[in-house]
Amino acid sequence: MSAWVKNGSKLFGKNVQLSTQLVMKQARGYQLTLREHKLLVRTVTDLFKLVPFSLFIIIPFAELALPIALRLFPNMLPSTFSDKKSDHAQLMRRMKAKGDMAGFFNEVIAEKNKQILEEQSSKFRFSKLFHSEFQLEQMSVEQLRAICAMLGLRPYAFKSHIVLQLRHYVTRLRSEDRDILWEGVNNLSHAELAEANRMRGMPYVNVDDDRLRAQLSSWLEVSSNKDIPVSLLLWSRTFFMAQQPGTERERLVSELNNT
């Protein structure tokens, strides 16, 4: 058995042990912190992923087919078995692709509402005027897929399902926003800041903590204190991504067609 399997198994066992303690803590009526809640969710997710992944370890020579399976199903690998170096390279590719998508999405929205200003204060001021135009139901499938791609989501087949998928995603984010506001942005580690920015479609790779906190604070201000459409909230995040260099329109269109 290779070293990465042993190390991943040990780390997974430790996560299961800690998560069991967290479940008992929650059963006694104590509230979990954001960090504890994320650990519990990640461990439960890894438990489901471990079932198909274990077949490649148990069956002789099945480990040779693991790279092909990961190519077809990139999310099947439990988090404790992931390779940090390859993950970093993959994150860089995704960040560049998301920057391209954000630029394209900005142009799509600009064609529909050319008078909306890019400044955040202007979005707040004019958000009610464009409420109907920014409803998810009013957007095309291509626009909805662009939002999903920017957020790292795999869109469903039908438009109604994509709208529901985005609404559930934002509802989960806003629930997490309340926890972050309660615990404070300054109490988050670098990894937690990067994960929070990633889930909200903002730059997070090779970004210092100060900028990560500033981006997250800007999101929290919009999400918690401003009554604006959900789709406009998502669109406002594209201006962070559009600032990334290396726009390649051909690659963007190809990725959107494959989603």
Q: Are residues 132 and 245 in the same domain?
A: yes
Q: How far apart are CA 124 and CA 11, in angstroms?
A: 45
Q: Are residues 12 and 133 in the same domain?
A: no
Average pLDDT, the chain: 72
Q: Do 153 and 169 touch, CB atoms closer than 8 A?
A: yes
**Which pLDDT tens digit goes with each residue over 19-69?**
899 889 888 878 888 888 888 888 888 888 887 777 777 777 777 777 787
Of 81, 114, 133, the residue at which a domain comes to its end is: 81
Q: pLDDT band for position 259 (50/70/90)?
A: very low
Polymer length in residues for the chain: 259
Q: Residue 192 pLDDT more than 80? A: yes
Q: pLDDT band for position 231 (50/70/90)?
A: low
Query: Could you give the percent of the chain with pLDDT greater than 70?
Result: 63
Q: Are residues 92 and 19 in the same domain?
A: no
What's the pLDDT score for residue 245? 45
Q: Are residues 76 and 88 in the same domain?
A: no
Q: Are residues 55 and 88 in the same domain?
A: no
DSSP for the chain reads --HHHHHHHHHHHHHHHHHHHHHHHHHTTPPPPHHHHHHHHHHHHHHHHHHHHHHHHHSTTGGGGHHHHHHH-TT-S-GGG--HHHHHHHHHHHHHHHHHHHHHHHHHHHHH-TT--SSHHHHHHHTTTTTTTT-GGGS-HHHHHHHHHHHT----SSHHHHHHHHHHHHHHHHHHHHHHHHH-GGGS-HHHHHHHHHHTT---TT--HHHHHHHHHHHHHHHHH----HHHHHHHHHHHHTTSS---HHHHHHHHHH-
Of 55, 81, 107, the residue at which a domain comes to its end is: 81
Q: Are residues 129 and 215 in the same domain?
A: yes
Q: Are residues 132 and 144 in the same domain?
A: yes
Q: How far apart are CA 173 and CA 223, in angstroms?
A: 9
Q: Residue 101 pLDDT more than 70? A: no
- CA angle centred on 179, ends 174 and 185, rounded to 5°: 100
What's the pLDDT score for residue 256? 43
Q: Are residues 164 and 225 in the same domain?
A: yes
Domain count, the chain: 2
Q: Are residues 92 and 31 in the same domain?
A: no
Q: Are residues 51 and 118 in the same domain?
A: no
- Structural domain harbouring 250: 84-258
Q: Do 18 and 39 touch, CB atoms closer than 8 A?
A: yes
Q: Alpha-carbon torsion 236, 237, 241, 247, what sign?
A: negative
Of 48, 81, 114, the residue at which a domain comes to its end is: 81
- pTM recorded for the entire structure: 0.57
Q: Are residues 21 and 126 in the same domain?
A: no
Q: Are residues 160 and 173 in the same domain?
A: yes
What's the pLDDT score for residue 29? 78
Q: pLDDT band for position 102 (50/70/90)?
A: low
Q: How large is the average pLDDT for residues 228-255?
A: 53
Q: pLDDT band for position 236 (50/70/90)?
A: low
